[in-house]
């Protein structure tokens, strides 16, 4: 069974149809890259899966728990109970484009806040776990630093550590390198590669084709609210037959 099942998602902002009919599965341990031009609905899709936006139709199931479905008779979306939604939320981590670290808390508090106050983990255990995560992110020694004292790449790695501290089953990335210098995208790519090796299930919305090609084992190409094509990176980047995909990828050739 897929860990994430997305079926026929529809999302409108007033009259603007952003997501028209999106369906896909993510398997345990898979790294999925979602690519596509600006305005194609990639970020909105991610936000619907992460409960930051309410979908207008369709069905999403996370790790066997149904988050919402569409009541066909009444023609509206029915969400799971608050308790279930909360459980689902804790199985999902999200890394934001602009990090959204808490500026008034140091790196350690940013990472341990949720484990201590949400999961009620003992403080020592939360700190130990945070130390391990920081080591993994190459940020040992930065525990006491405040976000404003770190580079963009470091901040983004802290935000990845913060998301991982809750032991999510799926980690989502919403354009994790868009706010970074091109020189700094490498360090994020490295971290994501490490996580991929550990079989972390990840869904990455990105403009960075190198990401999609090097890390993902499944690529989804979206345009105008639809999934135009999906497949392995070799299929999409190597020899797509789809005209729209070709056209989009041509811009990244050099």
Partner 1 sequence: MDWESIKKVTGILLEYLPNTLKLFAVTLLLSIPVGMLVTLLKKCRFKPVAWLTNLYILIMRGTPLMLQIIVVYYAVPMLKAGMQKDGSQGFFADFINNIDTRSDSYMFTALCIAFVLNYAAYFAEIFRGGVDSIPKGQYEAASMLGMTRMQTFFRIILPQVTKRVIPATSNEVITLIKDTSLANIIAYAEITMKAKQQMNTYSSIIPLFIVGVFYFVMNAVVTVAFAVIEKKFDYYK
Residues at the contact surface with partner 1, assessed by CB under 8 A: 50-52, 86, 89-90, 92-94, 96, 98, 100-104, 113-114, 117-119, 146-148, 162-163, 166
Least distance (Å) between residue 44 CB and partner 1: 14
d(C-alpha 5, C-alpha 60), whole Å: 6
Q: What are phi and psi of 180, to 5 degrees?
A: -110, 155
CB-nearer residue toward partner 1: 105 or 242: 105
CB-nearer residue toward partner 1: 117 or 193: 117
Query: What order of strands is seen across the sheet that includes strand 65-71?
Result: 16-26, 4-13, 57-62, 65-71, 76-79
Least distance (Å) between residue 166 CB and partner 1: 7
Sign of the C-alpha dihedral computed for residues 139, 46, 210 and 40 taken in this order: negative
Least distance (Å) between residue 64 CB and partner 1: 19
Sign of the C-alpha dihedral computed for residues 221, 184, 177 and 194 taken in this order: positive
Least distance (Å) between residue 241 CB and partner 1: 38
CB-nearer residue toward partner 1: 175 or 223: 175
Least distance (Å) between residue 118 CB and partner 1: 4
CB-nearer residue toward partner 1: 145 or 249: 145
CB-nearer residue toward partner 1: 130 or 219: 130
Q: What are phi and psi of 198, to 5 degrees?
A: -85, 10
CA-based nearest residue to 55, from 19, 11, 18: 11
Contact 212, 222 (CB under 8 A): no
């Amino acid at each position: 069974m897929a860990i994430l099942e997305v079926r026929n998602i529809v999302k409108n902002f007033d009259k603007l149809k952003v997501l028209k009919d999106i369906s896909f599965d993510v398997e345990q341990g898979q790294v999925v890259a979602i690519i596509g031009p600006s305005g194609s609905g990639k970020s909105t899709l991610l936000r619907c899966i992460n409960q930051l936006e309410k979908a207008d139709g369709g069905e999403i199931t996370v790790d066997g728990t149904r988050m919402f479905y569409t009541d066909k008779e009444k023609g509206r979306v029915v969400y799971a109970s608050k308790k279930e939604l909360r459980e689902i939320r804790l199985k999902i981590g999200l890394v934001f484009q602009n990090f959204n670290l808490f500026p008034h808390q140091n790196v350690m508090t940013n990472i341990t806040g949720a484990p201590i106050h949400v999961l009620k983990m003992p403080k020592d255990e939360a700190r130990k776990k945070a130390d391990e995560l920081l080591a993994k992110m190459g940020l040992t020694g930065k525990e006491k630093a405040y976000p404003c004292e770190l580079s963009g790449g470091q901040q983004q790695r802290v935000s990845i550590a913060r998301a991982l501290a809750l032991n999510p089953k799926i980690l989502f990335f919403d354009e994790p390198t868009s706010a970074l210098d091109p020189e700094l995208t490498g360090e994020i790519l490295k971290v994501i590669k490490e996580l991929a090796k550990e079989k972390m299930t990840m869904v990455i919305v990105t403009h960075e084709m190198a990401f999609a090609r090097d890390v993902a084992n499944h690529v989804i190409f979206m345009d105008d609210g639809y999934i135009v094509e999906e497949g392995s990176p070799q299929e999409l980047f190597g020899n797509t037959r789809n005209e729209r995909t070709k056209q989009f990828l041509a811009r990244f050739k050099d």
